[in-house]
Each structure stands twice: as structure tokens, then as C-alpha cells.
Structure 1
Amino acid sequence: MERILLAVLCLSVWSISTCLLHQYHYVHELKTWTEAQSYCRRHYTDLATIENSSEVDQLINAVSDKSVSEVWIGLFSEVDWRWSDGYTGNESGYRRWCAGWSEPNFWAADQFCVFYCSSGWWDYGCEEGLPFICFSGTQFVYINQSLSWTAAQSYCRSNYVDLATVKNPSDDQMIQNVTPSDSSAWIGLFRNPNFNWPDGSSFSFTYWYDDFNPLNSLKIICGVAYLKNSGKWRFVPCDNRRPFVCHGTPSVVKKQTVKLRMKVEDSSVDLNDPVIRADILKKLQEKLNMTGVTLKWGEQPDGKVFHKMKEHRQKKNKKKTEL
């Protein structure tokens, strides 16, 4: 993608608009996350979206009651545990979390993979190095190499079938039999981050609080800004009741449209691919590095952002002829 971007930053025709920071509104009513969102959508735009450090400060300043420790913001995440081999059968929901540490506890919002130990399963940072357990098709195999979860998955898929799927207590016991006492090892359970803002804003800026975010058996977790710790974010059950912060469209919005002609060096690159468009926009936003300015693509009536110059001229001439 980096190679593509170097070529793409000389591309076709695009337009951007800029606007001021979000305008935040504190509401001192205790509501669940869903109730708070409904309120914000009725009276403003939505629960607060935060896209940079300046907006963190702005949100903190918007909270008039300085005794409040936490407020709902729009952040939420879907908790969808999956097995590496894709197993979704009747026993795919078997879990043996370590109760003593309230696992899975999602420390600092950065634990998306699972390891086995005799006391139970733990969620853990996927980049950490651990031994791991493969499945050969007939038995579990303990591999005493310290690899990240992703590297362990690749190893198992290359040499066996996949990382271990644990369907029931019998599987759990077999894993215990092949794993050295007091050893930890990756198994195939994982999940994707699935971090979201309700208004669909990009999730490129993060501000996590270094503490537990207990998941228990929750399917969705919701975000609060912890005002007693510089407004850092953490997750709590969505049915908790908190005051909250909404955001609304600023009363004064300054927009500017810019059109550029760019050249694509690689003709196979589809600039209208949503992934490429998003990556280009992110790079441009980083390069601009201006507080309170947000870049957005300006779509044409056909839904595209980019058009080849020849195609663009033909459409323009056709429109003139029709007039």
C-alpha cells in the first residue's frame, strides 16, 4: 500500500472540504449508552465523536460539572470471538476464562487474542511472543517456540491444520495433557477490534486508559471518557448509567473546495477503491497537520471521486451539448 500511495499522490481529480472542530454539549442526565445516543440524535447530531487531542480538551472543557468522573461518548465496539479455523458449530461457544483475573479483561483496549494456561484462558496482546498449540487433524501438538499469535497461526497452517480450536472440556483436558505445567500457549480464539464511532467517522486517533475493560460475556461494549484521567477512554457495559456529551454541527462552518489534477503511475490502481481512497485521505490529513480541519472527498453525481481526464472532458462536453 505504501508503494501505491507514493504513485497515487500524483493522481487524478479530487476535492476536499474543511470544517471546524466538533461542538460539544454536556448533558447532566443519567442514561444508558443507547438512551444517551437517542437523546443526542433528537437534540443535536449524535453522541460525541473525538478525532484528535484538541477535541479531547474541548470535550473536557464542555463538562460543566467538575465532580463528574466519567461521561458517555460515542465510542463502541462489537465483541465477536472467532476460531482461527472458522469453526462455528454447536460447540463454538465453549469458553474457560480465568475467573481469578476477571478474564477477558481487555487491558488498555489492546488484547484481541487468547492463550491457554492451567488456571483458564486469558485475552492478551496478539503481538506478544508465546508458545502455541496446533491441531494436526487428530491430536493437539504443543510447539515450544515463542511467536506472535499471527506467526503461530501461520506456522500451524503450514505444518499442521491450524491453531487449536477448543470445543468442550474433553478438548481442554487433552490440551492440558500436552502442555507443560505452568506454561502458557496460544490457542485459535481471537477477535477483531471493531472500534466504531456512531456517525461513521474514521477511527485513526485513539486515547486509551491503561486499565481493565472487563468484557465478561458482553456482545457490545460502550465507551466513556474518564475525566479524572485526562479524558482517556475505557469501556463499560452499555446498560450502565452515566451523564454524557453530545456533538452538534458547529454554527459557523467554513468550507473550501480544492481540485487537483493528478497522475497515476500504475494503471492497475483503482483510485475509487474505498480502501485506497481512505488511505490517501489519511495520508493527506497527516501531512496537512492542521487542528480543526477535516478533509473529506467530494463525490460526483455518479458516486465516484476520481475520473480519468478523457472521461471527464467527454461528460463535460456532453452536458454542454444537451444545454
Structure 2
Amino acid sequence: MERLLVAVCLLSEIFTLSSCLRQYHFVNQSLNWTEAQIYCRQNYRDLATIEDPEELKQLINGVSSAGVGSDVWIGLYNQIHWRWSDGFTGKGADYRNWNTTDSDPDFISANQFCVNIGDGGEWWDRSCGNNFTSICYRGTQLDPELVLVSKSLTWSGAQKHCRENFVDLVSVRNDMENRKIQSLVPQSKRSWIGLFRDPDLFWSDGSSFGFGFWDGGKNVIGSMTVICGVTSVQRSGKWKFLSCDQRLPFVCYSPVTVKVLVKLKLQTDESVDLNDAALKASLQQRFQEELKARGVNAVTLRWSQQSDGRVFQKEKKKKGM
């Protein structure tokens, strides 16, 4: 059994490397993101997933060789769901007063998930790690007493401070409340309010989002609830978000099938016939389960038969042993 486990680990290392390979396919047909997703799923595996710099380089080389410099859809998308820190969902929860002059929320560098208010009453989305003053409240959601916290904190720091010393960061339900909050913001400053959203970055094929290569510009959200990802040769492969309704060429991917022959050396009791059909099936299932437990999926295991139809051969003893 010890040798069996060693063999399983060997299989795991091999298939971890080979099972994640992707082949990219550029499609020079202008579709919206959803249509492109459907096309890729019908003809390949899905819209392109990119999980490391090497995959990005491979994808961009393919698009470049096709002579296309425009934006192309990839499988990335971002769901937009604004929420209030204190959980308020009642009447007025969808009130917004964005600074439309600067096209906010503009999601610069795909890194702005928290909201602050300026001394003119307009709202901006900003990186949650930036430091600003904040507006807390005490009392109740429906009858709040506003409090300015003059110490500059990150959004999560401000939330923690408000919850420990008051109730929470303030929620804003209408123009009247917005003007009251505006009056507390220091001149030429901005203050955190309770509006925020989770990153919610996803790949179309369900892969976990980790690697990112963002363009430093704006990703104008407006009133959209989903925005979709593009890349471009002209931006050296950097990513940004556009309205999913735009019509663009796109990149699909298909998994690369890799065949790996692994020789196993197992030690068993003399009475055990490893070529017994039931035992071979049991061993194969065990290997499959062990690989899956190690996060290695989409792998098909088959026994390789020798010329005599047997899978396992008894090892001959060396002379002098």
C-alpha cells in the first residue's frame, strides 16, 4: 500500500502539470459577450480563461498573428452589486449621487470597490485601501445621528471604527440625507460612506480568479450590473471592462489533451493477482479518487496492456538476490 500511495503522488504531480494546458482560438466575428460565450461553448470549451503570464503571452501571440489590434472578448466578467455596510435594504437603498462629471463609478484599474462623498455632495468609487475621513452614525437606520470621524482611515478601518464606537458607516437614502452628510465633510476633502461592493470577478468556465493584468484606465460602470472583460494587442495584453453588449471579436479555448504513460511498481502478497479484473478496477478507482482529492480533475486513467494481454508483470529476481 505504501508503494501504491507513492505512485499516486507521482501521478498527481504529472497530471497537475498537464491537465491545465489550454489552446486558444481567435474568432474574427463580432458578437456581444454572451453570444461569444455561446459560440465558444458550442465549438470549443469556453471563452478564454487566462491564469498566468505564459497563457496571456500565448493568447496575445495568437491574436497578433491574426493582425488584430482591437479589443477582443475574453471569459472575464465582473458582477456589480452595491450594498450598504449596515445591511440597509429598505426604501431608498438604491439612491445614488455619483459624480457624473468624472464618469463615476469608473472602476479605475479594476480596483475600486468602496464609495466616498465629497464636500459638494457627489460620490466617487475609490480603492478601499485609500485613507479618508468617514461619516458614522448612532441611533437607528431610520433616524440616524451623524458623526464625522476626522481621522483618515481605510474603508474597512472606518467601518471597524464606526461599529466599535457608534453603529456603522452611514447609509444614504435621499437628497435630504445626502445634503446633511455633505455638510459634515471637511472642505476640499472626501469621507467614506457605507456603500461598497465585493470584487466578484469571475471566469466564464468557473475557474477561480487569481491572476490579473489590468489596464490602468477607467472601466465606466454606469448603471450596469455586469461588465465584461477584453484584452488587446495594442495595450500589450492588458485587460479592461466594457459593456457586455458591445460587438467584438473574441478568443475561445479548448483543453490540450496530454497522454502520459506512467509505470508503476507495486509490492503485493504472493496470493494477490494484480491482473484480476475486479482488482484492476478497484486500483483504477483508487487512483482516480486520490488524484481528485489533490485537485487534479479532467483526467482519464486507462491500463496499458502488454502483448500477452496482461497489465502487470511479475518482476524477475536479480541474480544473487
* TM, length-normalised to structure 1: 0.74
Q: CA deviation at 1:255?
A: 8.3
- Counterparts of 2:261 and 2:172 in 1: how far apart (Å)? 54
State how 1:19-168 maps to structure 2 within 5 Å: 19=18, 21-63=21-63, 64-117=65-118, 118-137=120-139, 138-168=144-174
Contact kept? 2:69, 2:232, Cα under 8 Å: no
For the residue of structure 1 that corresponds to 2:41, the secondary structure is helix
Residues 207, 140 of structure 1: CA spacing in aligned structure 2 closer, same or farther, 3 A cutoff?
Answer: same
Residues 123, 254 of structure 1: CA spacing in aligned structure 2 closer, same or farther, 3 A cutoff?
Answer: farther
Given candidates 205, 228, 231, the residue that maps to 2:211 is: 205
- Counterparts of 2:260 and 2:179 in 1: how far apart (Å)? 64
- Counterparts of 1:257 and 1:230 in 2: how far apart (Å)? 43
Contact kept? 2:83, 2:196, Cα under 8 Å: yes
Given candidates 211, 220, 235, the residue that maps to 2:226 is: 220
Contact kept? 1:226, 1:234, Cα under 8 Å: no
Q: CA deviation at 1:226?
A: 2.2
Residues 185, 90 of structure 1: CA spacing in aligned structure 2 closer, same or farther, 3 A cutoff?
Answer: same
For the residue of structure 1 that corresponds to 2:117, the secondary structure is strand
Contact kept? 1:299, 1:305, Cα under 8 Å: no
Give the partner amino acid of 2:55. E
For the residue of structure 2 that corresponds to 1:56, the secondary structure is helix
Deviation string for 1:39-74 (max 9, x for gaps)? 000000000000110111100111143243211000
1:300 paired with 2:306, answer no
Percent identity (aligned): 44
Q: CA deviation at 1:122?
A: 0.3
Give the partner amino acid of 1:159. N
Deviation string for 1:122-175 (max 9, x for gaps)? 000101110000011231111111100000000000111000100111110110
Q: CA deviation at 1:253?
A: 5.0
- Counterparts of 1:85 and 1:110 in 2: how far apart (Å)? 22
For the residue of structure 2 that corresponds to 1:246, the secondary structure is strand
Structure 1: gaps of 5 or more residues? 1-12, 259-297, 307-323
Give the partner amino acid of 1:21. L
| Higher RCO (Cα < 8 Å, 6 or more apart) | 1
Give the partner amino acid of 1:41. R
- Counterparts of 1:88 and 1:174 in 2: how far apart (Å)? 20
Contact kept? 2:112, 2:126, Cα under 8 Å: yes
Contact kept? 1:135, 1:161, Cα under 8 Å: yes
- Counterparts of 1:74 and 1:299 in 2: how far apart (Å)? 29
**Number of aligned residues:** 254
- Counterparts of 2:215 and 2:59 in 1: how far apart (Å)? 16
CA RMSD of aligned residues (A): 2.3
Counterpart position of 2:185: 179
For the residue of structure 1 that corresponds to 2:101, the secondary structure is helix
- Counterparts of 1:235 and 1:225 in 2: how far apart (Å)? 9
Structure 2: gaps of 5 or more residues? 1-7, 265-286, 296-321
- Counterparts of 1:116 and 1:253 in 2: how far apart (Å)? 58
For the residue of structure 1 that corresponds to 2:183, the secondary structure is helix
Q: CA deviation at 1:87?
A: 0.7
Give the partner amino acid of 2:34. T
